[in-house]
Structure 1
Amino acid sequence: MQDGRGEGAGLRYPVLDALRGLAALGVVFHHIPANAGLSAAGFDANFGRMVDLFFVLSGFVIAASYGAKLSSGFSISRFLWLRWGRVWPLHATMLVVLAVAMLALGLARPDLRTHGLMAGANDPADLPLAVLLLQGIVPSRGPTWNHPSWSISVEMLLYVLAALGWRLLGDRAWGAWLGAALALLAFAGFGPGFDGLASNIARGVAGFGLGVLVHRALGQSRPRLNLHAATALELAALATLAWVLSASGNLAAFDLAAAALVALAAVQRGLVSRALMFAPFQWLGTISYALYMVHIFVIGRSFDILALVQDRLGLTIAQATIGGEDVLIGPGWQADIAKLAIMALCLVIAIPFAKLIEQPARAWSRRTFGQQLPNAGN
């Protein structure tokens, strides 16, 4: 989840920050299970597709920040350490939080143990893969630790491919990204498609490649749009995204609409872009990575608390068992309110993780790797 701040060149795209925040919020909404209200109507059935917007955003921002620098000899190891230092500390923190929580649950409820003293479906044997950020691209024994982190694993692979591509092909690397993106989208749309880890990687390459293309296109010729034209195009891109999400969630259609929206957001000429510059949207962008990384844990513990307290309070808000399958139940208004409350809790919990871990880690990364690494080679 690359932010809209170009570390490599001092660039800043605040509207992209807001888009990233809104996409993260959509993913959170999607991951709170409910069988009533908006979810029962299928409103958020395809909101998981918003992860693909992250990939498009990353392709654009990495191209803007590092494309020219990597082409002209910027250290590949320095670049990769900067990216690793940006995403890994919070990821590692969440692994510790999850492992401790599952161990504590296993000690408190021996009947829930699945692996030694540990409860839950995650296999401790998969922890080394998760620690190394390989869980999204290498087969594991059980479910991914902190499920959303699969996309962070794919992001790290994309950074490696990007660095090698710009070093080997220079400015021509955008053509390779475009070819790969279009081929993968065509195969996903007209061929047998992808499953499992292949799907993870294909989604990442396709979105990232389109993001690189958007940066290349804007660098060649930035459109001269007036306020009305830019606003109309922004609304059209948003409407297309909404239509894709409400229909099939088709990867190619979503990625192409997302690329158009990112291009318009980078130009920052329309009323939608202006609205996304407002403080609440910018704040959401600043905590988006923390929100994305903590939300699965917060959702799970929210249902655990409901399992403990709702009967004592004479309420039936969810079908919930500690450490088990959970779902919010009707009536519809109740499920929607509960879902919004859990989303609000995710936002609140994300704040200390952003301020105490993510942001200091970003500052540490820049201090440590902002200068040339000793014996950096490339």
Structure 2
Amino acid sequence: MVSQSNGGSGAGQPLRYPVLDSLRGLAALAVVFHHIPAVAGLSAAGFDANFGRMVDLFFVLSGFVIAASYSAKLSAGFSFSRFIWLRWGRVWPLHAAMVTVFALSMLALGLLRPELRTHGLMAGQGDPTDLPIAYLLLQGVVPSLGIIWNHPSWSVSVEMLLYLLAAAGWKLAGSRIWMAWLTLAVAVLTFAAFGGAFSGLTSNIGRGVGGFGLGLVLHRAFERSSAPQLSTTVATALELAAVGAVGAVLWGSDSLMAFDLAATALVALSALQRGLVSRVLCAAPFQWLGTMSYALYMVHIFVIGRVFDLLAVLQPRLGVIIADTTIGGADALVGPDWQANAMKVLIMALCLIVAVPFARLIEQPARSWSRRVAGQAMPKPAN
């Protein structure tokens, strides 16, 4: 089951899959859980050791969704510049806002705590020389001198590159370009599966190509074939099997190929929306989480860091030990296990709370503005 939405482009009525928004929200929540450091509780048991792999689910989802929204339109003459503007307007404003928040906070920390300064007046491990790269959303594909400003944005940078490549392919070769994406995805995943060395920018781009390519090819398969007639029982069993396959990779091998294949199966079965799992994911709470997913993903590292900074100040005064932490240093929640688990949940909730104003005051207004500009000032699609 799908719904119709024009995505603000003003050209055609592409299909939209609400259930995939929920999957994106759950993936973002898993990444947040993974990024909260702990040496006790579920993390000490290795429960979330591989949850960073959920970023690769983003790539699969993006390949499928962007193909659903734009492959036919770009192949038929939709403006390349208009497409890029809409994508840029979707992700850049909130990204730029968070880079600014990070830079200002590190400047403030350097002014308050001179002993923590690393670059002039600025504290932290981010190099100010990297700020132009960060603001241009290139940090996932261009080398940085220091750590990435707002680390999760590397995947957004890679997605923008993939959008450019996909749009150029559709403009130049039309729908046939899916064969090139399949070849690239298979080559990358096979290379990784047989022990190929992926690191740094190579890893970033390789992970993106593998997942995005499979998602794009999956949508092509949806276009070229009729939906299978599955009963609710069979569809639910298949959905649960796909969820189990994703879980097995996360708690087992952490193989990129295995995860991407399992994630692609999960996206395919969810998009069919024939089983109970996908229907539950269309419920309002999961849909809301989906609308918050990008903001949650972009704000969570900053929120987590500031929570630990606050704990570093409060713990000595309160006489309690919740985390092993120092301002601007390495952090980790400590035991007992119930305390570490409870703190993880509380920090996740706080990340969601902070994400709401960033989504409503920055992300959503900027997205609406970019759509208006695209409709008024950008080149119109060809008839």
Q: Tell me the TM-score range normalised by the shorter chain.
A: over 0.9
CA distance in 2 between partners of 1:224 and 1:171 (Å): 26
Which residue number in structure 2 is paired with residue 343 of structure 1?
Answer: 348
Which residue number in structure 1 is paired with residue 103 of structure 2?
Answer: 99
Q: Work out whether 1:166 is the aligned partner of 2:167.
A: no
Q: Which deviates more from structure 2 when the two are superposed, residues 168-177 or residues 122-131?
A: 168-177
Which residue number in structure 2 is paired with residue 79 of structure 1?
Answer: 83
| TM-score, normalised relative to structure 1 | 0.97
Q: In the comparison of the two structures, how many residue pairs are matched?
A: 374
Deviations 1:320-368 (A, max 9, x none): 1011110000111111111111111000000000000001011011111
Amino acid at match of 2:322: I
CA distance in 2 between partners of 1:286 and 1:315 (Å): 37
Aligned to 1:311, the other structure's residue is in SS state: helix
State the shift of 1:193 in Å.
Answer: 2.9
Deviations 1:181-211 (A, max 9, x none): 0110000111423111001001101111100
Correspondence for 2:336 among 331, 339, 342? 331
Q: Which deviates more from structure 2 when the two are superposed, residues 222-231 or residues 123-132?
A: 222-231
State the shift of 1:168 in Å.
Answer: 1.4
CA 371–268 in structure 1, closer or farther in 2 if over 3 Å, else same: farther
Q: Work out whether 1:65 is the aligned partner of 2:69.
A: yes
Q: Which deviates more from structure 2 when the two are superposed, residues 107-116 or residues 168-177?
A: 168-177
Which residue number in structure 2 is paired with residue 231 of structure 1?
Answer: 236
State the shift of 1:72 in Å.
Answer: 1.2
| TM-score, normalised relative to structure 2 | 0.95
Which residue number in structure 2 is paired with residue 254 of structure 1?
Answer: 259
Aligned to 2:137, the other structure's residue is in SS state: coil
Deviations 1:120-177 (A, max 9, x none): 0000000000000110001110100000000000011001100111111111011111
Amino acid at match of 1:328: L
Which residue number in structure 1 is paired with residue 270 of structure 2?
Answer: 265
Amino acid at match of 1:273: S
Which residue number in structure 2 is paired with residue 126 of structure 1?
Answer: 130
Correspondence for 1:318 among 323, 328, 340? 323
CA distance in 2 between partners of 1:107 and 1:132 (Å): 27
- 1:148-159 equivalences in 2 (<5 Å): 148-159=152-163
Deviations 1:29-67 (A, max 9, x none): 000000000000000000000000000000001000000
Correspondence for 1:302 among 300, 304, 307? 307
- 1:349-364 equivalences in 2 (<5 Å): 349-364=354-369
Aligned to 2:118, the other structure's residue is in SS state: strand
- 1:30-41 equivalences in 2 (<5 Å): 30-41=34-45
Unaligned residue ranges in structure 1 (runs of 5+) = none
Deviations 1:61-80 (A, max 9, x none): 10000001111111111100
CA distance in 2 between partners of 1:163 and 1:251 (Å): 25
Q: Work out whether 1:28 is the aligned partner of 2:45.
A: no
Unaligned residue ranges in structure 2 (runs of 5+) = none
State the shift of 1:10 in Å.
Answer: 4.1
CA distance in 2 between partners of 1:11 and 1:366 (Å): 18
Aligned to 2:210, the other structure's residue is in SS state: helix
CA distance in 2 between partners of 1:351 and 1:64 (Å): 27
Deviations 1:54-108 (A, max 9, x none): 0000000100000011111111111001100100000000011111100000000
CA 122–6 in structure 1, closer or farther in 2 if over 3 Å, else same: farther
Aligned to 1:146, the other structure's residue is in SS state: coil
CA distance in 2 between partners of 1:104 and 1:130 (Å): 19
Aligned to 1:114, the other structure's residue is in SS state: strand
Which residue number in structure 2 is paired with residue 138 of structure 1?
Answer: 142
Correspondence for 2:291 among 286, 293, 304? 286
Q: Work out whether 1:193 is the aligned partner of 2:183.
A: no
Contact kept in structure 2, 1:6 and 1:61, CA below 8 Å: no
CA 111–6 in structure 1, closer or farther in 2 if over 3 Å, else same: farther
Contact kept in structure 1, 2:77 and 2:381, CA below 8 Å: no
Which residue number in structure 2 is paired with residue 370 of structure 1?
Answer: 375
Correspondence for 1:90 among 85, 89, 94? 94
Amino acid at match of 1:277: C
Q: Which deviates more from structure 2 when the two are superposed, residues 9-18 or residues 89-98?
A: 9-18
Which residue number in structure 2 is paired with residue 14 of structure 1?
Answer: 18
CA distance in 2 between partners of 1:297 and 1:164 (Å): 35
Contact kept in structure 2, 1:6 and 1:64, CA below 8 Å: no
CA 64–317 in structure 1, closer or farther in 2 if over 3 Å, else same: same
Which residue number in structure 2 is paired with residue 44 of structure 1?
Answer: 48
Contact kept in structure 1, 2:79 and 2:379, CA below 8 Å: no
